[in-house]
Structure 1
């Protein structure tokens, strides 16, 4: 039996030098951890290490059993892409026209409440990162910076204002007038919160505004000194819509939200606002059509990030049916469950005009302030571009239902 004879030699220093390559030293701890984050889940892991449990769980959790959130994620994970080959995809254009303006990519930052609880830069980080990236930023009624301060922080950005209708209608519309005066070009009316959802993580954590210093929170804070130093040495929390609050999040929401809002109110708001009007929280076809008939320029299919109704419809699953019913009457956007650029591509291929992120943005914020939000958007932009190239799509307009196939809705099969 013949044997292969391999000639041996002693490697030279030059040979070893080619094999031994050391990672570039990054002196800044924040830059170092963000550079090593390759996915949104990496940013989530960093955020969890750096943020006390109560504000992290407020971001991370859903309502009741969190089934709505779990199903929304599973919808993206259980679809199958259908790539097309032998197409020139050297250059990919991610830009889209959305409500009359060109956005650099089909992704925006959705409204999130109590944002400075997650990290002290809060809405400033989100608005400035969005402006730098050429995408829209939405300030929540429950935001922790004022309308005017966000406009000053990101004067060149496309700033939107999200409205909850309060029991005090005059106070609600005063916010709308302030947003108009500050140059916000779009109003987002959120319609899926007649009452606050049962966010059990918040109840168990005793989530209050401002955070309560109990023995549990103090012990939880010991390994997270940077968060507390930032929180205690910067200006107190200020809200976009009210001066102060001492109590739980659920108590605040239930004290403010108006469960009597109807389509007549939507029509009335349409008459008060001369910019673009978006209705957020649509969860069935009939409401999509009726909202557009009442004056909406766009609708956002959303179950509030799984934070309101448990076992709510999955926005991605609802998307094709709504797009078919709506036609060209208005734009259809989607949020909830987007954690990867491929999720964005899947939504666009399924018919969405635009997509929105909430948690993904907040994970980046908690991981590293404004540079962390920049990293979130950089990761997603890279993933969107790569996925489109692998599918054979050179522009967002080329994405279509032929590119995706839903394997299963809820089963593990």
Structure 2
């Protein structure tokens, strides 16, 4: 299994499946319930077809853009994903380094296996921090102080996880929060000796099981001590946090104006990768509605289901400023550690360039609704100034 043999996110998923014990792979891969939303995230992207422009010189294609004022090399950033330590002992610091080398952003998960200040020390690019609000107000104050001192620029508040989620694959595999060792988990580890060695020893010469377990339990602590996020919390965060403020987990356009009035700078259209509420809509299906509601007053991003460069172009054509990718880099981290994440980012970057070239967009600014076939697009798509597209309506 060589990283050079991986040519897509699907390849990285297969490599990860070979390396990880089944129970661990399912932690990364699974969705909630019957996994309808997990499936819809992909099916909805697949239903949208692109409408290439002709007679365009694409010798030079520029993928650079900005995200809340930060220049990035591509309209794609790395989403907050817990359990990185279960994929590789390199964990979140490796992801931060890879993102920095690629010239893009990394949103560090609130359930990170490493302390936020440790991850920040490894980063060379701007970081977001994903916040799960806690019932203990002082704990929120202390956490904000920590990430502020560590140099995080943007606060990303997750609002769609008011209670602990349940995923049936985890239940069948006897994975619980907090993690409890069991014979089944022990046998799963023995089935993948190379993974077990890395999980238990990491980069040290000593037994590191307690560090590995702490990493998993950090996520458990974040998820088991959460609260509903209301307008009052957002207002308090806006007063307390001086940098950009982003809300993640939005699926309804009519709620967006109030969020912006509260001082929110960015909206992430997300269904948590299909991992929370099964039956929630695919994010690409509601993206245009949220973009219309934001009316240019806040940047809108799309999360959940992105696997290809063509997905990125489709999301931007429907109004997203950029997308977040999660599972692809987690599969890559499992498949090849830090080098795997480098490889996955580069594969997606190349796919974005190829997709832009084939549709006739030489810059991110040239990606608009005219590149989407109107018969396949979700509602509320603005046909822009393309006369051929306008004539269809």
Output the TM-score relative to the length of structure 2: 0.90
CA contact (8 A) 1:210 1:237 kept: no
Note if 1:117 corresponds to 2:78: no
Deviations 1:6-26 (A, max 9, x none): xxxxxxxxxxxxxxxxxxxxx
Once residues 256 and 210 of structure 1 are traced to their aligned partners in structure 2, the CA distance between those partners, rounded to angstroms, is 12
Note if 1:58 corresponds to 2:27: yes
Match of 2:13 in 1: 44
Once residues 26 and 269 of structure 2 are traced to their aligned partners in structure 1, the CA distance between those partners, rounded to angstroms, is 24
| Cα separation, partners in 2 of 1:370 and 1:209, compared to 1, 3 Å | farther
| Cα separation, partners in 2 of 1:264 and 1:211, compared to 1, 3 Å | closer
| Cα separation, partners in 2 of 1:42 and 1:113, compared to 1, 3 Å | same
> 1:246: Cα distance to partner?
6.2
Structure 2 matches for 1:42-121, cutoff 5 A? 42-121=11-90
Match of 2:350 in 1: 382
Note if 1:270 corresponds to 2:238: yes
| Cα separation, partners in 2 of 1:86 and 1:254, compared to 1, 3 Å | closer
Match of 1:355 in 2: 323
Deviations 1:289-311 (A, max 9, x none): 22111111101000011011111
Structure 2 matches for 1:212-291, cutoff 5 A? 212-234=180-202, 235-236=208-209, 252=221, 255-259=224-228, 261-291=229-259
| Structure 1 gaps, min length 5 | 1-31
Once residues 181 and 227 of structure 2 are traced to their aligned partners in structure 1, the CA distance between those partners, rounded to angstroms, is 31
Match of 2:205 in 1: none
Deviates more, 1:140-149 or 1:283-292: 283-292
> 1:212: Cα distance to partner?
4.8
Once residues 221 and 320 of structure 1 are traced to their aligned partners in structure 2, the CA distance between those partners, rounded to angstroms, is 44
| Cα separation, partners in 2 of 1:66 and 1:253, compared to 1, 3 Å | farther
Note if 1:170 corresponds to 2:138: yes
> Which has the greater radius of gyration?
1
Deviations 1:116-146 (A, max 9, x none): 0121111011100000001011111110011
Note if 1:296 corresponds to 2:296: no
> 1:367: Cα distance to partner?
0.5
| Cα separation, partners in 2 of 1:337 and 1:366, compared to 1, 3 Å | same
Match of 1:368 in 2: 336
**SS of residue in 2 equivalent to 1:287:** helix
CA contact (8 A) 1:298 1:331 kept: yes
Deviations 1:68-89 (A, max 9, x none): 1111111111111101112100
| Cα separation, partners in 2 of 1:332 and 1:186, compared to 1, 3 Å | same
> 1:222: Cα distance to partner?
3.5
Deviations 1:298-347 (A, max 9, x none): 01000011011111122111111221221110100001000111111110
CA contact (8 A) 1:342 1:387 kept: yes
Match of 2:125 in 1: 157
CA contact (8 A) 1:195 1:253 kept: no
Regions of 4+ moved over 2 Å: 208-223, 234-239, 242-247, 251-255, 405-409
Superposition RMSD in Å:
2.1
Once residues 141 and 62 of structure 1 are traced to their aligned partners in structure 2, the CA distance between those partners, rounded to angstroms, is 19
Once residues 377 and 311 of structure 2 are traced to their aligned partners in structure 1, the CA distance between those partners, rounded to angstroms, is 16
**SS of residue in 1 equivalent to 2:2:** helix
Deviations 1:88-136 (A, max 9, x none): 0011000001111210000111111122012111101110000000101
The correspondence for 1:402, drawn from 347, 360, 370, is 370
> 1:206: Cα distance to partner?
1.3
Output the TM-score relative to the length of structure 1: 0.86
Match of 2:389 in 1: none
Once residues 139 and 101 of structure 1 are traced to their aligned partners in structure 2, the CA distance between those partners, rounded to angstroms, is 16
